[in-house]
A and B are shown apart, each in its own frame.
Chain A
Amino acid sequence: MNKVVANADEAVRDIPAGATLMLGGFGLCGIPENCIASLVKKGINNLTCISNNAGVDGFGIGLLLENKQVKKMISSYVGENAEFERQLLSGELEVELVPQGTLATRCMATGYGMPAVFLQAGYGTEVQEGKEVREFNGKHYLLEMAFDSDFAIVKAWKGDKMGNLVFKDTARNFNPLMAMAGKITIAEVEELVEPGEIDPNHIHTPGIYVHRIFQGKDYEKRIEQRTVRQRG
């Protein structure tokens, strides 16, 4: 078993144009910065990206958008990105907006081997269009499908060489769900350790879900809204 790759370039080496990718993160928190940089460098286009957000101008998935590599975004919230808005309004970019909990649960369904789930969000709204509606105990639910994702790219705090992952704080968000959902899952970690160095009780994502892992570098970890309080 050898899951360790040297770097992001090697981890994304075989991602082809037209692939469907899940990318972990919420806003810019917990995004796979190294792999995004390598995808930009590689220049493959026509990508379908499943990610809660679409980055911001000049960072995160915003870099892939600027480079015109994205054909379709599947996200819950895509504000704070002028280039995204421009491509959307000009028709260059397809967008499927999905309620955040539905997005997370569709990722979960994929990872748990379930083809679809019934969820309440969006009933009676335009999200319902084209979906089967079922009533359970007097409430209405939409049939929401699992995803079919060629690659999942996640960012963890720590990982070991067997692919076991630990996430930090709210950088966990979509990462463990997407890690379970990729046909091939790539994990970039801030600290790569030997098997046994992480207490098995503390592992969030078991290594069975992770196919490639590497120690990331030069994390910028940009903050979108820096809010502080005064001392005293």
Chain B
Amino acid sequence: MPLNKEQIAKRIAQELQDGFYVNLGIGIPTLVANYIPEGVNVVLQSENGLLGMGPFPFEGEEDADLINAGKQTITTLPGSSFFDSAMSFGMIRAGKVDLTVLGAMEVSENGDIANWKIPKKMVKGMGGAMDLVAAAKNIIVAMQHTNPKGESKLLPKCSLPLTGVNCVRKIVSDLGVFDVTADGFVCLEYAPGVTIEEIKAKTAGKLTIAADVKEMTV
């Protein structure tokens, strides 16, 4: 069975290392915060100006002045800090944030990503996505492997306007875990119940299967 959104988030959470500063994008990436492994302490960065993002507030304790990049009400934690938007992107640009997790509409075999615009349909703006992908040291994309029509979103070349070039290093989709290398997509893990044949059939970009490919543990 392909993974559901929670399982994709859970698998990505396994990539977190103790001491990481992490930026989680909107959608599936936000769910990663729910599955941080025990004993792993990470600090979540919200690019509107907060390090040390805490959980949602208890009902009645919401504060309009305290939101995350998805405009959701949140809380702080002991050790949190606030800063302005230039410093926020300064720390991203300077490589201080260890890991960025974000969603994508398309990823190409050379690591280009498209996730901000569908011409004539959706032009809401890129927000911080272009800054994050241009600068982050380590980007994991959380995505569905195919679009609602069943067409591959892992492509030889992106068809939608790009967000960044040659920047994605890892993908966790509902079908498996993939590295993005100089030689295209490399399948490292497959979701329980998903076959290599299905992954091959649903990956339009160049794909190789790692010699030590294994079933994912989620």
Contact = CB atoms under 8 A, between A and B. Distances in A.
Interface of A: 26-30, 52, 75-79, 88, 97, 99-105, 107-108, 119-127, 157, 167-177, 204, 221-231
B65 interface: yes
A175 B161 contact: no
A218 to B, nearest CB: 14
A77 B86 contact: no
Given A99-B127, A225-B67, A226-B72, 15 more contacts: A29-B64, A29-B71, A76-B126, A76-B127, A99-B129, A100-B128, A127-B130, A170-B48, A176-B84, A177-B85, A204-B84, A225-B70, A227-B62, A227-B74, A230-B59
Given A100-B128, A169-B63, A171-B65, A229 B134 contact: no
B89 A101 contact: yes
Interface stretch (B162-170, B176-184, B193-201): B162-170
Contacts of A177: 84-86
Contact of A169 (B61, B66, B112): B66
A225 B66 CA distance: 11
A125 B56 contact: no
B194 to A, nearest CB: 32
Interface of B: 46-50, 55-68, 70-74, 76, 82-86, 88-90, 92-93, 112, 123-131, 134-135, 161-166
Nearest to B53: A170
A52 B130 contact: no
A228 B49 contact: no
Contact of B89 (A104, A127, A231): A104
A79 B122 CA distance: 9
A26 B88 CA distance: 13
A141 B185 CA distance: 27
7 A-B pairs with least C-beta separation? A101-B89, A101-B131, A79-B124, A124-B165, A221-B64, A104-B85, A99-B130
11 contacts: A76-B126, A99-B127, A101-B89, A101-B90, A101-B93, A104-B86, A121-B135, A125-B162, A170-B82, A221-B64, A228-B61
Contacts of A119: 93
Contacts of B59: 228-231
The secondary-structure label for the interface of chain B is loop
A77 B65 contact: no
B131 A170 contact: no
A102 B85 CA distance: 10
A172 B48 CA distance: 9
A221 B62 CA distance: 11
A173 B84 CA distance: 5
Contacts of B92: 101
A101 B126 CA distance: 10
Contacts of A174: 84-85
Contact of A88 (B47, B62, B123, B131): B123
B65 A229 contact: no
Contact of A172 (B61, B71, B83, B125): B83
